[in-house]
Structure 1
Amino acid sequence: MLFNQNNKKNNFLPVFVVATFGLNVLTILLLMFHQSMLKRLSGQLPQSLVQLVDGRAITIGSQENLERNPETIRRFVGETMTMMFTWSDKQPPQIVWQATSELLSGDMRRKFEVETTQGIPKGVLANPGGNAESLLLIRRISQPEKIADGQWQLEIVANRLIFAGYNSKDGEAIPFNKKILIRALDTQAISIPNVENPLYSAIYRLNEARLEIANICDIQQKKCP
């Protein structure tokens, strides 16, 4: 009788080992299947829910981090150039330049600072309280031409109007016809806006597009280097 009980136990042990091994194999196969599904899902761009200002909600497809809508690029260029060349005695050119230069790449700032002061009377730069004003009138901004991943080139045709002195009614027109190279950024360059100054707040909102001006060339050049 004792022999039969030991025999039954010995017969059960191989069955238990085989069942355990089969369960482990099944678990490994399920993990491999889940891993392959996660890889396929990670390769797909999910849709995002966006709430508009008027309360409507829309679902949009995600884009690559370096992709930008053409109208977003044109708006960025137009508003950046307008703010950069629009100043008055209440908001002198030095303050405007200090704020708007953050929308340029680091190696571009010193080069373009000369462009912003071109045509400004020396007396205005030395004494900004002389009722001088500057305004940029944009005539045309071309559609962006993609030249590389996250880089575009477009043209802007405009006139700078500079009014100097209390008796100046007709502004001096300076042509501003340029090719502009735009580069996409991975992160927003300006982190904390100066809420006390509306100019800084406007620049912060504009920088939310995560774009920067990488170069500015004469419009006659085929491409900005």
Structure 2
Amino acid sequence: MQILKLKHTQRDTLGIFVIISIGLQGLVLLVAILLYGNYNRLANKPPPSLVQLADGQTVAAAPLANKERSPEVIKRFTKDTLTSLMSWSGELPSPDGTAKTIPDEGIQLKTARGKITTPAYNTSFALSEDFRKEFLIKLAELTPQSVFGGTTKVVLVPLEIQSPTKIDEGKWKVVIVANLAVFSQNSLGDVIPFNKEVYLQAVEAPSYKDFHSSDRTATRIAQARASGLEIYTIRDLTE
């Protein structure tokens, strides 16, 4: 009698275990269905079209992959960067925020004889590091040193900026047709053609919110690369 009772108890325990297992599997299946439903709703939910900035300003937004940039952003970055690099006035905004300007003393490069303007130096952080060094030396040779004496000004005048051509993942080519207008004393302005092929690539936009220093270099780098792009080559347009 004791043996029969022992077998009956083992059979009952096995049955209870099977019932509990089925119940747990059913619970897991229910959770999986709920998760699938949530993921499906998120996948079909339209992306936000507006983003509010910290200062309260609202701007339009569009979903892009990590290494994708819109054609408008690429064209604006190319135009703004080249304009700042190639326009030399010899003046800087006044630190007190007034409309007055102060003389630009320029930046003396150790590897070049001439100086470059301060805005051009700050904007040069939008170039890739290996290309930046070579470009700054060439820029110092091109910059008339009379700019810093207030007798010469050079302005880049864009005439046409073509839509970017994608050449690889996260890389584009932009053709720009422009002129360099050179103004000196008693001169109506000489025009020098500036037709280039600009090669850009996507990079991670830096953020230095928690970086505290009296040196504003980090801020200048962040501003120059805020679009998540950098220029790695500039070539003469041969066509």
State the TM-score, normalized to the length of structure 2: 0.68
Looking at structure 1, the residues matched to 193 and 137 of structure 2 have their Cα atoms a distance apart, in angstroms, of 15
**Which residue among 131, 139, 160 is the counterpart of 1:116?**
139
Q: CA deviation at 1:170?
A: 2.4
Q: 1:210 aligns with which of 228, 234, 237?
A: 228
- RMSD (Å), alpha carbons: 4.2
Q: 1:22-61 maps to which residues of 2 (within 5 A)?
A: 22-30=22-30, 47-51=47-51
What SS does the aligned partner of 2:198 have? strand
Partners in 1 of 2:167 and 2:44 — Cα distance? 26
- 1:159 is aligned to 2:161: no
Which whole-Å CA distance do the structure 2 matches of 1:145 and 1:188 have between them? 22
Q: Residue 159 of structure 2 corresponds to which residue in structure 1? A: 139
Opposite residue 164 of structure 2, the aligned amino acid is: P
Residue matched to 1:20: 20
Q: Which runs of 5+ in 1 are unaligned?
A: none
C-alpha deviation, 1:42, in angstroms: 8.7
> Structure 2: any 5+ residue segments left out of the alignment?
91-102, 107-115
- One-letter amino acid of the counterpart of residue 188, structure 1: A
Query: Take 1:132 and 1:70, find their aligned partners in 2: how far apart are those partners?
Result: 35
Which residue of 118, 121, 128 maps to 1:98? 121
SS of the aligned residue for 1:47 comes to coil
Q: Give the C-alpha shift of residue 67 in structure 1.
A: 1.2
* Count of paired positions: 212
| Amino acid paired to 2:193 | P
In 2, the alpha carbon distance for the partners of 1:102 and 1:45 equals 38
Shift in alpha-carbon separation, 1:55–1:161, aligned structure 2, 3 A: closer
Structure 2 counterpart SS, 1:135: strand
Using the alignment, how far apart are the partners of 1:171 and 1:151 within structure 2? 36
Supply the distance in 2 between the matched residues of 1:57 and 1:137 (Cα, whole angstroms).
Answer: 28
Using the TM superposition, give the Cα deviation of residue 8 of structure 1 relative to its aligned residue in structure 2, in angstroms.
8.3
Local SS of the residue matching 2:25: helix
Q: CA deviation at 1:113?
A: 2.0
1:122-201 equivalences in 2 (<5 Å):
123-124=145-146, 128-164=148-184, 167-185=185-203, 187-189=204-206, 191=208
Amino acid at match of 1:210: G
Shift of residue 214 of structure 1? 1.2
Q: Is contact 2:175–2:196 with CA below 8 Å preserved after alignment?
A: yes
C-alpha distance in structure 1 between counterparts of 2:221 and 2:156, whole Å: 17
- Alpha-carbon contact 1:76-1:206 (below 8 Å) kept: no
1:12–1:120 Cα change, 3 Å: closer
Work out whether 1:81 is the aligned partner of 2:82.
Answer: yes
Q: CA deviation at 1:111?
A: 2.2
2-structure distance, mates of 1:189, 1:10: 66
* % identity of equivalent residues: 25
Change (3 A) 1:32 1:66: same
